Every structure is written in structure tokens, then in C-alpha cells.
Amino acid sequence: MDASAPGSAASPPASPLAAFLARRGIHYGWVVAATTFLTMLVTAGAVGAPGVLIGPLQAEFGWQTADISSGFAIRLVLFGLMGPFAAAFMNRFGIRRVASVALALIASGVLGSFFMTKLWHLFLLWGVVVGFGTGLTAMVLGATVATRWFSQRRGLVMGLLTASTATGQLVFLPLLAELTERLGWRSALVLVLVMLLVAACVVLLLMRDRPSDIGLRPYGATAPTPHPAHPHTFRAMLASPLVALRDAARTRTFWVLFGTFFVCGASTNGLVQTHFVSLCGDFGMAPVAAAGMLAVIGVFDFFGTVGSGWLSDRFDSRWLLFWYYGLRGLSLIYLPFTDFSFYELSIFAVFYGLDWVATVPPTVKLAADRFGDRANLVFGWIFAGHQLGAAFAAYGAGFSRTFYQTYLPAFFVAGVLCLVASLGVISVREKAKAATA
């Protein structure tokens, strides 16, 4: 095989499956990408499950929306704050080990919730345990796989893996809602456990940490890729994300990307994913039908995010983000003016869905251009901003519903924040050669 061809190896691949695929012109990186896609899809389904749990938990335990939202907000905060440290763990221990531990953590949190009776149980299991587990398989996992395994098609792969996260948070909701309505919320969580088990088996069988582990180069690479130097001690490994944050925080680019991603989280999984089903219930729509609308958003998000990955390889990421945030803000401001009929919600679902997390590929590209070989650590902190925004919206919308008897103010605020973000992102300098940002 020609060494310059995509998927070439300096020697025959050490893995029998990799060798079998190489003889057919298929790089093993696509297997790793598919495994990562499944892992992120399933763990994202666990992240999105609380969207159908608020009502049943209120009915069974008498907890208020604001209290339940606080527990779920902790999960979103940890989901984000674990990102930089997840990157460090992957650098030291490998993707396969980290993904396996993450799936086991999530499963233990979900299983433990079958027996919870107190509000603090919810905070511990869904806030802390599930938060830590899902944080290890957040966007940083996709960014690490795309960077290590692909020299070409990196934008497309990042778009696909990003789409898996957002889509997984939404497409399982109709089925979970149906199971919850017919059999109870614990039966719905059985489905989540089964999906986690399947994903864990696939990871153990097929995931590999680096192309060099099986005698390959990254897809499209024409020369061997040296391993980057990583901290040798556990203490230095834990400190590496903090050092990256210290250096990145000196630039304006970091704070603009952090702030706009805060708005991204506040206007997507913190608000719509967590509270959309309950919002529609306030206007007389059944939970299954409302979850179906979220699934429509997830389907259109898949195409929107993959398309965004393609566009981010060809156009200025700043202007892509300008349009993404601006159009998302307009859609959120439009929603409260609808009559929440099937027709008008369908228009919202299609328009909003195309833009759900289309912001991720151009944001990753800007971070990579500006921060170089530390981009995965820096992006981990930027993603932490995303999840802080999600937690802010998850709690804020629950507070609005509890004390003002309506979710609508939260949607207006999110829409205005998106318009502000669309203007702020233009100030980012795209090229790393800039001395300051």
C-alpha cells in the first residue's frame, strides 16, 4: 500500500481487524470513530433522560421543580468541569480505559436511582455520579479521537461526533417518555442501562487509543505522527489542565469562546432539553408528543451539525457562529409567540434543530487555530463554560416555573443572550499567529 494513501501504515497493522479492513481500503480510524459515536450517543441519552423525569419525580416524591432542577444542574456543571481533566486522563491512561470507567460510573448512578427516596439521593446519583461519568465522555472525547486518528476529514468527523451527543440527548426521549407513561420512570431507566452495557462491550472490543498502537498512521497522514509529551507524574497530569487554563485565560479569544459557549449551553440542553417537555405540558401537550418534538429537533440537528463540520473546513468560523447564534436567538424569541400547536412547534423544531449544536465544529476549529497542541485541554475549559450555561438555564427555568408559574421568561432571556453572542464572536481572531487575542 502506498505510504501516502489515506490509511497507510509503515508496516502491516497489528490488529487482525485493522489488517482485514486495510486490505479493503478502510482505515481503522473509522471503526474508532463509529465506536466513539455510539459511546457519545448512549451517554448523551443518559444526560437527556431527566427531561422526562421531572413530572414523575414530582408526582411520586412531592419535590418541587426548582429542587429537582437543582440536582440536574449539578450534573450539567460536572459534565462540563470534567472536560479538561477528562482530556488529561485520556492523554495519560488512554481513551479505552477512560470511556470504560465513564460508562460504568453512569450505569452505577442510574442503577442507584431505582432505590432513591430522598432529594439528596437525586443530588448524589444524578448530580455527582452521573455528572462525573458523562463528563468523561463529553465533547472532549470526540475532539481527542478526531485529532488523534484523522489528519484529513477532521472537520467531518468532529461534526459527526458532535451530532451524536446532541442527537442522543433527544432521539431517545420519545421512547423514554412512552415507557415512563406506560410502565413508570424506573422501567424507562432500564433501557438506559441496556444501552450503556452495549456501548461498554463495543468499547472493550473495538476501541484503540492511538493509530500507532496497531501499526497505523492517522487517516490521511503522510508521515509518522510523534506522540506529544505528557506529564509523567499523576500530580503533573492533574495540574496540566490548570496550567492550560492559566495561559489561555490571558487571551481575549478564550473569554469570547467561553462566554459564547456559556450562551450555547444555556440555550440548548440546559433550557430546551431539560424543560421543553414540561413547557409543552403547561400548554396541554402530552409528554410523549412533546418528547417527539425533541426527537425531531435531534434528527435535524444531526444534519445541521454534520453540515456545520463541512462548512467549518471551508468558511470563516466566526461568521458561521455569528449566523448560528443569531438565528437560534430569533427562534427562541419566536417560540413564546406560538400557540404551541403541532404545526407551529414543528416549524420551531426544524428551524431550531438545524442549529442545536452547529456551533461546536467552528468553535473547536477556532480553539485549535488559536491554542495549537493544547487545544483539547483549552477546549475542555471552553466546554465547561457551555455546561455552566446549561446549569444556569436548567436552574433558572425551574425557578421561573416555580415562582412565576411560567417558563416563558427563561426563553426570552436565552434568545436575547444568543443575539449578544452572535455579535461578540466576531471579535475573535482566527489565526494562531496573532500575538494576542
Q: What is the pLDDT along the chain (437 residues), one digit of tens a residue?
A: 334 345 455 455 667 887 788 788 888 989 999 999 999 888 877 777 776 777 788 888 888 777 787 777 777 777 777 878 887 888 788 899 999 999 999 999 989 988 888 888 888 888 889 888 888 887 778 878 887 888 777 777 888 887 777 667 666 777 787 888 888 888 888 888 999 999 999 999 999 888 888 888 888 877 666 555 555 566 777 788 888 889 889 998 899 999 999 999 899 878 887 788 788 888 888 877 887 787 788 788 888 888 888 888 788 888 999 999 999 999 999 888 888 888 888 888 888 888 877 888 888 888 877 887 677 788 888 988 887 888 788 888 888 888 888 888 888 899 999 999 999 988 876 554 443 34
> Does residue 244 contact residue 374 with C-beta atoms inside 8 Å?
yes
Identity of the residue numbered 148: R
Phi, psi of 257 (to 5 degrees): -65, -40
Measured CA to CA, the distance from residue 366 to residue 283 in angstroms comes to 40
Residues 179 and 392: their CA atoms lie apart, in Å, by 29
Phi, psi of 219 (to 5 degrees): -55, 125
**CA–CA distance, 275 with 336 (Å, rounded to integer):** 14
Which of 387, 368, 386 minimizes the C-alpha distance to 378?
368
Give the separation between CA 269 and CA 167, rounded to whole angstroms.
Answer: 11
Amino acid at position 236, single letter: A
- Count of alpha carbons within 13 angstroms of residue 22, beta-carbon side: 26
Q: Using an 8 Å Cβ cutoff, are 376 and 143 in contact?
A: yes
The H or E element that residue 72 is part of is helix 65-93
What is the CB neighbour count within 10 angstroms for residue 426?
12
- Which pLDDT belongs to residue 169? 63
Angle between helices 139-149 and 65-93 (to 10 degrees): 20
**pLDDT reported for residue 82:** 81
- 17-211+237-427: CATH topology is Growth Hormone; Chain: A; (1.20.1250)
CA nearest 410: which of 258, 259, 264, 266?
Answer: 266
Distance CA 398, CA 15 (A): 50
The pTM of the full predicted model, rounded to 2 decimals, is: 0.72
The whole-angstrom separation of Cα 55 and Cα 265 is: 23
**pLDDT at site 423:** 92
Judged by DSSP in three states, 354 sits in: coil
Residue 46 has a CB neighbour count (10 Å cut-off) of 27
So what's the pLDDT on residue 13? 61
374: left (phi over 0), alpha (psi -120 to 50) or beta: alpha
Q: Where are the domains of the chain?
A: 17-211+237-427
pLDDT of res. 429: 67
- Contact criterion met (CB below 8 Å) for 395 and 66: yes
Taking residue 193's Cβ as centre, other Cβ atoms within 10 Å add up to 15
**Closest C-alpha among 357, 330, 334 to residue 422:** 330
Half-sphere exposure of 199 (CA within 13 A, CB side): 29
Residue 431 CA: distances (Å) to CA of 374, 383, 394, 436: 15, 20, 35, 10
